Amino acid sequence: MTTIRYANDKFELEPNESVLECLTNRGVPVPFSCRSGACQTCMMRATGGKPPETSQQGLKDSLKLQNYFLACVCYPDADLEVALPDDKDAQAVIPATVLSLKLLNAEIMHVELECHAPIDYRAGQFINLFQNQTLGRSYSLASVPHEDDRLHLHVRRLPQGRVSGWIHEELRPGQTVEIRGPGGDCFYIPGNSEQGLILIGTGSGLAPLYGIIRDALSQGHSGPIHLFHGSRDLNGLYLSGELQDLVKQYSNFNYVPCLSGDDVRHGFASGRADEVAFKQISDLKNWRIFLCGHPEMVKTAKRKAFLAGASMKDIYADAFNVSQSS
């Protein structure tokens, strides 16, 4: 008998019963629509056990790797522990000690954390960092698991931001905070190493992209990699030296700092990062695209990239939404 575990319940799977049927028949409110493995409304995540491959058809590779599956076409042979995709309680809280805090520019703080327990993440994913039990925010990881021993975050100070203000003003090296994660499906997947990559970020949207780029390069990605990092003025850009070093080290890596304000100096592209990118590379067929940062930029650029020929499955995005309670 196959057992499905959901929250604190255990259900026996009847013969020829899908995980969706099993759960909904017993009163678990899993959303669903087409019941044929196409619409992805019933997507869930296996937090224990491996979902059958047939239940992952049509999902983005980054979701497959994280054991997401479609409940309506999931007929497992072995026990599964499952959760709804937005179930935050499915992950354990990990204590982490702050090792260093360093300003990258006037408003972005580099935070280095040492976890007290191993955390299995991919460059470009995010974690939630908690100021106290109820107040936490998502921050993208700029570190790369096999390259960096510690977790690196780029925390931009938001006007009236409660957590970012606390990190900038009060947090000190040696303090221990709680984190939960990782989450997010915006990361590099090995394979197809000759494919061109375009990465577009605004502000601290550079954090996940910096991780993704170093991850791709260290895994031997040989196709062209173009980074467009945008800000209004020069003060908003950062890590320029490190990125220039990568340009020198890897001939397939190209870094284009973009300034959307009036004062554009030599060596910088004029305009918003997404506009500059799509002007330089107009046919996006077969390119892999990464978009991180300002939600409006991510939304517009996603649409533009798709209309310019990029396949939906090749567009990875992480919009930095600002919490309503700041």
Partner 1 sequence: MSEQSLYEQLGGEAAVNAAVDIFYRKVLSDDRISAFFEDVDMEKQAAKQKAFLTMAFGGPHNYTGLDMRRGHAHLVARGLNDSHVDAVIEDLGATLRELGVKEELIAQVAAIAESTRNDVLDR
The contact set with partner 1 (CB under 8 A) reads 33-36, 38-41, 57-58, 60, 302-303, 306-307, 311-312, 315
- How many angstroms separate the CA atoms of 155 and 260, rounded? 22
Q: How far is the CB of 39 from partner 1 (least distance, A)?
A: 4
Q: How far is the CB of 43 from partner 1 (least distance, A)?
A: 9
Q: How far is the CB of 128 from partner 1 (least distance, A)?
A: 21
- Do residues 170 and 104 lie in contact, with contact meaning Cβ atoms separated by under 8 Å? no
* Amino acid at position 216, single letter: A
Residue number with CB closer to partner 1 (117 or 312): 312
Closest of 85, 79, 166, 92 to residue 131, by C-alpha? 166
Residue number with CB closer to partner 1 (33 or 222): 33
Q: What is the pairing mode between strands 43-48 and 68-70?
A: antiparallel
Residue number with CB closer to partner 1 (32 or 255): 32
Torsion over CA of 305, 306, 311 and 313, rounded to 10 degrees? 90
Cα–Cα distance list, 36 to 75, 182, 303 (Å):
13, 30, 27
C-alpha 305, offset from chain centre: 18
CA contacts within 13 A on the Cβ side of 1? 8
- How many angstroms separate the CA atoms of 148 and 100, rounded? 14
Q: How far is the CB of 34 from partner 1 (least distance, A)?
A: 4
- Do residues 269 and 258 lie in contact, with contact meaning Cβ atoms separated by under 8 Å? yes
Residue number with CB closer to partner 1 (173 or 309): 309
Q: In angstroms, what is the C-alpha Rg of the chain?
A: 21
Residue number with CB closer to partner 1 (129 or 305): 305
- Do residues 187 and 197 lie in contact, with contact meaning Cβ atoms separated by under 8 Å? no
Q: How far is the CB of 208 from partner 1 (least distance, A)?
A: 17
* 246 Cβ contact list (under 8 Å, min separation 6): 213, 214, 217, 253, 255
Residue number with CB closer to partner 1 (24 or 41): 41
Neighbours of 31 (CB within 10 A): 12
Q: How far is the CB of 319 from partner 1 (least distance, A)?
A: 11
Residue number with CB closer to partner 1 (74 or 237): 74
- How many angstroms separate the CA atoms of 202 and 205, rounded? 5
Q: How far is the CB of 312 from partner 1 (least distance, A)?
A: 5
Residue number with CB closer to partner 1 (33 or 192): 33
Q: How far is the CB of 317 from partner 1 (least distance, A)?
A: 9
